[in-house]
Amino acid sequence: MQALHLQQSETPVHEHGHERPAAPTAKSTRAWSSGSRRLTSWAPAAPELAHRQLAMAFHAAPIGMAVTTDQGVLVQANPALETLLGHRPGQLLGGRLEDLADRTQAQAISTGRQQMLDQGRDRHVVISTLRHAKGHQVPVALSCSLVPNPPAAGPVDDVAAYLVVHVLDIGERQATEAELTHRALHDPLTGLPNRVLLLDRLEVALARLRRHPSTVAVLFCDLNNFKQINDTHGHTAGDQVLAEVARRLQQLQRPGDTACRFGGDEFVVLCTDSGQAEADSVAARLHAALTAPVLVQPAPDDDRSGPLPVTVTASIGIATTTDPHLGAHQLLHDADTTMYQAKTR
């Protein structure tokens, strides 16, 4: 890799203050302006200067970098890598990055590196986590590149003279991806799983019946007269009611069950390994949980002060199945139909 040596020259200025183009020279291949000075030419730097520039780039690189042997032993580590992993200068040298990973991930790092060497590939990337000096885990993307023996060192063989490893911290990216995934699968008001996640879990529960015969139950819950709550107390109070109902649902659901906000004032509880009796018990507990009024803050234009009690009731329909071939939408439809029958009684 050749470094570029940039030469600067003064730019002639027109009497009215405008820059005049510099006359091209034999060495000029590009030109660009910065303020009142113009970089007009470049030439390959001398080997000593190129070496210094590369060393400075390695040292100042904003991401972790290391030079290792073909066995992964670190012979150089830049400050960004030492900072990322919490080590003092020189502390990482002589060790291997896989020494900072758990057994499974360490095997993946070393195996991937060896396969790259054996297959003659020039690059290998692996996602892993490395242990910080303080003990916590740092998620990283390791990108390993071959640097073959230079011709001056003798005949080129199949073994790399050394490897260059880029270590990119992907913790923020993973956190962002996890947050986006959570938002896509959960209701923003109540924090409960949304319809998409419910359908996925219901399909998994039904498919599981093929291997482990059991019963899957769905409880479809609709809040009664919810529109009246919005009309009387305002939509903000209505949101408070929905959030509180969701909280009570979460408290009464069994481990392994899923409570979901299906949409509007509708909630669904998915119960796995649950017969009709267990589903009836969950419905009874939900009715009991809603007997206590929900306290809401009055609307800004409401003359009443302090939290206002709002009575909430619900109609619940239950559908169960032991049939692994029944579709998720059909089971939900059956529970919805039963719920409307209960509402009209």
35-77: per-residue pLDDT in tens?
A: 445 545 556 667 788 888 888 999 999 999 999 999 999 999 9
Written as six digits, the tokens of 283 are: 């419905």
- Is a pLDDT exceeding 70 seen at residue 110? yes
**Residue 265 shares a structural domain with residue 168:** no
Written as six digits, the tokens of 165 are: 């490893």
| Domain-located, residue 129 | yes
**Residue 140 shares a structural domain with residue 192:** no
211 sits in the region (left: phi over 0; alpha: psi -120 to 50; else beta) called alpha
**Residue 170 shares a structural domain with residue 316:** no
Pairing of strands 64-68, 74-77: antiparallel
Q: 207-235, pLDDT tens digit by residue?
A: 999 999 999 999 999 999 999 999 888 89
Q: Does the pTM of the predicted model rise above 0.75?
A: no
**Residue 282 shares a structural domain with residue 161:** no
**Residue 107 shares a structural domain with residue 167:** yes
Residue of higher predicted confidence among 308 and 86? 86
Under the banding of pLDDT at 50, 70 and 90, the label for residue 330 is very high
Residues ≥6 apart with Cβ < 8 Å to 6: 39, 41, 42
Q: Residue 151: exposed, middle, or buried by beta-carbon count in 10 A (0-12, 13-18, 19+)?
A: exposed
| Domain-located, residue 276 | yes
**Domain range for 281:** 186-343
Single out the residue in 152, 174, 196 at which a domain terminates.
174
In angstroms, the CA 300 to CA 321 distance is 48
Average pLDDT of span 145-167: 70
SS3 category, 65: strand
Lowest mean pLDDT among 152-156, 166-170, 175-179: 152-156
Residue (of 103, 105, 74, 106) closest to 91 by Cα position:
74
| Domain-located, residue 69 | yes
**Residue 170 shares a structural domain with residue 191:** no
- Owner of token pair 């060192």: 153
Q: What local confidence, expressed as pLDDT, does residue 40 receive?
A: 55
* Dihedral sign for Cα atoms in the order 13, 14, 16, 18: negative
- Is a pLDDT exceeding 70 seen at residue 160? no
Which CATH number covers residue 90?
Answer: 3.30.450.20
* Dihedral sign for Cα atoms in the order 96, 97, 99, 104: negative
Residues ≥6 apart with Cβ < 8 Å to 71: 96
DSSP string, 190-240: T--B-HHHHHHHHHHHHHHTTTS---EEEEEEEETTHHHHHHHH-HHHHHH
| Domain-located, residue 279 | yes
Single out the residue in 108, 139, 174 at which a domain terminates.
174
Residue (of 98, 123, 96, 262) closest to 194 by Cα position:
262
- Fill in the DSSP letter of residue 143: E
In angstroms, the CA 315 to CA 221 distance is 6
**Residue 328 shares a structural domain with residue 194:** yes
In angstroms, the CA 3 to CA 53 distance is 7
Average pLDDT of span 1-16: 42
Which CATH number covers residue 270?
Answer: 3.30.70.270
220 sits in the region (left: phi over 0; alpha: psi -120 to 50; else beta) called beta
**Residue 195 shares a structural domain with residue 321:** yes
| Domain-located, residue 24 | no
How large a percentage of the chain has pLDDT more than 70? Answer: 83
| Domain-located, residue 130 | yes
SS3 category, 33: strand
**Residue 247 shares a structural domain with residue 132:** no
**Residue 210 shares a structural domain with residue 282:** yes
Under the banding of pLDDT at 50, 70 and 90, the label for residue 151 is low
| Domain-located, residue 5 | no
Written as six digits, the tokens of 78 are: 């830049």
| Domain-located, residue 1 | no
- Is a pLDDT exceeding 70 seen at residue 171? yes
Single out the residue in 122, 139, 174 at which a domain terminates.
174
Number of domains present in the structure of the chain: 2
**Residue 108 shares a structural domain with residue 246:** no
**Residue 124 shares a structural domain with residue 200:** no
